[in-house]
Structure 1
Amino acid sequence: MKLVYVFDAYCGWSHGFSRTLLDVAGRHPDVPVEVVSGGLFTGARRVPIREFGYVRGANAKISELTGAEFGPAYDRLIADGSFVMDSDDAARGMAALREAAPGRAAELAAALQRAFYVDGLSLSDPATYRKVAGDAGLDGDAVAAAFTAPAARAAAEGDFRRAARLGVDAFPTLVAEAGGRTVAVARGHATADEVDRRLAALGM
């Protein structure tokens, strides 16, 4: 069996799902977790955050349901509404981190979301990836360089296609693949216990 986690680093609900993702991965250490960026804020949706009037209300609900933290530095970053969430950049950064430590993709995805939602760091800034990588014991300079390289852009575009092939259009979505079957076991919000029950019901 393999788990495929389709998320967007700029998605608050994905941030809220981080704890569940890490819990599930910890309970099933022999099950690989593939992390795929879905591309939530691309094209015409790449606009100042003030255009999304629901953000603060949604974040409050996410925090209430999941316990996810939205830090003061994040609040300051988005305070004037001019910050632009660019999922192309976030996907390139996730690709660079994933390349550096493929077996730690779930952990790095959660760390990347924490960098934005708690530490208030832009996911369009190479310095963010240098810090996330360094904090994880990886080569920060190498990851920051990979973020700006053409291979990361190609990997991000590949992720968007992969998400589309899986039929995922809402984030986060956790998919289980086994025996030729592909089944979504979580969408939006779920606990690790709920995911485990769904996996057991599927015989996975």
Structure 2
Amino acid sequence: MKLIFVGDPMCSWCYGFGKEMSAIAQSMPDLDVQVVVGGMAAGSTQVLDDAAKQFRLTHWARVEQMSGAEFNREALMARKDFVYDTEPVCRAVVAARMVAPGVDLLKVFRAFQRAFYVDGLDTTDGDVLAEIGAKAIAEQGIAVTADAFFEVFSSDEAIDAAQQDFALTRRLGVQGFPSLFVEVDGKIGRLSSGYATAGQITKALESLAA
């Protein structure tokens, strides 16, 4: 049985759900988890003005209330001319998969989430993403330099691989993030859409495995 997690590191509900995903993976260590990046706002050219920032802060407050996740509101409000394009960070997740095929990609995904939502870093910048990605991989005992990560991140292969994840997201019929699917005997079915607790998901998975 495989659990397919479809999300975007710059999706606030995915960030709130991050600790739940980690708890699921820890409680079911033999579970095969596939991380698919959905490209929530990939290619966006929207510059966030104050109204757009306040709109996101409203969502962040709801996520915080539901999940207890920590948000750095000051960093978002202070950022000037910020374009909310999630393609680069999604591509960085894919690049990590290419650089270190055996890496725990969920941990890397969560490192990018924390970088944006807590540390207030610009996760649309390739150099910043390379530093985050290389560090997250190195923390798992795999030596990768930021330069090596950036080279893969900037490649046509990584761009194409990210687009393949976006295409898979569309084929799965994803309409919101996060979304979970289960693959059993080659057949894929939807498990959940939106925020859920680790207990709810684990119970559903155990029922399927019974």
- Asked if the contact 1:170–1:188 (Cα under 8 Å) also holds between the matched residues in 2, the reply is yes
* Rounded Cα–Cα distance in structure 1 between residues aligned with 2:83 and 2:76: 10
Change (3 A) 1:46 1:37: farther
Deviations 1:72-100 (A, max 9, x none): 5xx32443563111122122111111223
What is the match of residue 126 of structure 1? 126
Name the % identity. Answer: 34
Question: Are 1:193 and 2:199 matched, yes or no?
Answer: yes
**Post-superposition shift, 1:24?**
0.8
What is the match of residue 176 of structure 1? 182
Query: RMSD of the TM alignment (CA)?
Result: 1.9
* Rounded Cα–Cα distance in structure 2 between residues aligned with 1:65 and 1:160: 27
Show structure 1 runs of 5+ residues with no match. none
- Pairwise mapping of residues 1-204 of structure 1 onto structure 2 (< 5 A)? 1-43=1-43, 45-50=44-49, 52=52, 53-71=54-72, 75-79=74-78, 82-102=81-101, 103-136=103-136, 137=138, 138-139=143-144, 140-203=146-209
**Post-superposition shift, 1:116?**
0.7
TM-score by length of 1: 0.89
Change (3 A) 1:80 1:113: closer
Q: For residue 67 of structure 1, what is the amino acid of its counterpart?
A: G
- Asked if the contact 1:93–1:123 (Cα under 8 Å) also holds between the matched residues in 2, the reply is no
Show structure 2 runs of 5+ residues with no match. none
TM-score by length of 2: 0.87
* Rounded Cα–Cα distance in structure 1 between residues aligned with 2:192 and 2:132: 26
